Amino acid sequence: MKVLLVTGGAGFIGSNFVHSQLKNTENKIINLDKLTYAGNPQNLATLANESRHVFVQGDIGDSVLLEKLLADHQPDAVVNFAAESHVDRSIHGPEDFIQTNVVGTFHLLEAIRAYWNQLNPQSQQSFRFLHISTDEVYGSLTTDAPAFSETNPYAPNSPYSASKAASDHLVRAYHHTYGLPTLTTNCSNNYGPFQFPEKLIPLLIMNALQGKALPIYGDGQNIRDWLYVEDHCSAIAAVLAKGSVGEVYNIGGNYEKTNLEIVHTVCAILDELVPDSPYRPHHKLITYVKDRPGHDRRYAIDPSKIAREIGWQPAETFESGIRKTIAWYLEHRGWVENISSGSYQNWIAKNYGAR
């Protein structure tokens, strides 16, 4: 049994990771999350009686809290999911992104460095800090350019991706300068259960079920690579177990699609799964809206390093993963309703009102 300190474990990917760890391993999880608008205790509701899960509400920028948590729980590894994660929010207000993604990661690294320095040599050697990052740090690709490899230069284009790039550089420097045993993963677009409906796929599902417009930015030809969240979690576990210290691993689903193809797929599955919907065919709800400023045209991941060195492959295809995802949202209407609070409506008005 290992003790993992997971940050941001009440968010989308973090909560899926916590569930998969508790299901597939004997590990104990200390889950530190600030519970911003994106952190949802309901994502962890089924763990109320799980003794291997300890939830702590707090900020990765709180050095005093971090020192205490590290001393009390003596983790074998830290997995850092905590971040502001939505590109559109970073355009409306970048400050929180700098605060959490850059300054917060810096404080987290400092606390971990102090903790790691006083471990015995054997524990120092086996300790890992895994930083969860994104393919967006590499910038935008033209249609026929090769997919991002780990050696691509960084060229972030949004305040979000710039803040993630800065945090990746800090992680790299802490390994290079202090010898901290770090790992970094850069993953493509995730989808699946517990994703906050500000992101494309859950927004489409929620809006379609309510007969609302399905907003597509610009011409809908922007391309993303899509990965089912449980596959991202299995990749993270594999990198934690087998990754070489100081290395970076790109993670992707080998599924590049335009946003228009994604929305048509979601609509077709909803037509099939909700045959009595008054809004069928759902594709009639598709509405082109003003583009996102600085909208990256294409992301694509070359996942050959993680496949070759670690032996990881995704288990789901997009076809199987998207069906599971839509079925989950249909079965969890209560979760969806609780999310659709006043603050969510305020965000929708702010982001889509002027488009």
> What phi and psi, each to the nearest 5 degrees, are found at residue 243?
-70, 150
Q: Pick from 217, 328, 335, 344: which binds ligand DAU (CB under 6 A)?
A: 217
Catalytic-role residue among 135, 225, 230, 316: 135
Stretch binding ligand DAU (CB under 6 A), from 35-43, 102-110, 134-142, 240-248: 134-142
Distance separating alpha carbons of residues 294 and 177, to the nearest angstrom = 34
Smaller CB distance to ligand NAD: residue 235 or 285? 235
Amino acid at 249: Y
Backbone angles phi, psi at 349, to 5 degrees: -65, -40
Out of 15, 134, 234, 265, the residue judged to bind ligand DAU by CB under 6 A: 134
Rounded CA separation 141/109 (Å): 31
- SS3 labels along 125-161: HHCEEEEEEEHHHHCCCCCCCCCECCCCCCCCCCHHH
Q: How far apart are CA 324 and CA 328, in angstroms?
A: 6
User: Which range binds ligand DAU by CB under 6 A, 43-51, 112-120, 209-217, 337-345?
Assistant: 209-217
105 is a contact residue toward ligand NAD (CB under 6 A): no
Q: Active-site residue 150, yes or no?
A: no
CB of 235 to ligand NAD, least distance (A): 11
E strand intervals along 46-152: 53-57, 77-80, 128-134
* Residue 221 and residue 260 in contact, taking contact as beta carbons nearer than 8 Å: yes
- Cβ contacts of 67 within 8 Å, gap of 6 or more: 111, 114, 115
Task: Please tell me whether residue 250 binds ligand DAU under the rule CB under 6 A.
Answer: no
Binding partner of 43, given ligand NAD, ligand DAU, none, CB within 5-8 angstroms per partner class: none
3-state secondary structure of 137: helix
Find the binding residues for ligand DAU in span 12-71 (CB under 6 A): none
Which one of the spans 147-155, 182-190, 210-218, 300-308 is the region binding ligand NAD (CB under 6 A)? Answer: 182-190
- Residues involved in catalysis: 135-136, 160
Per CB under 6 A, residues contacting ligand NAD are 7-8, 10-14, 32-36, 38-39, 59-61, 81-83, 85, 100, 104, 132, 134, 164, 187, 189-190, 196
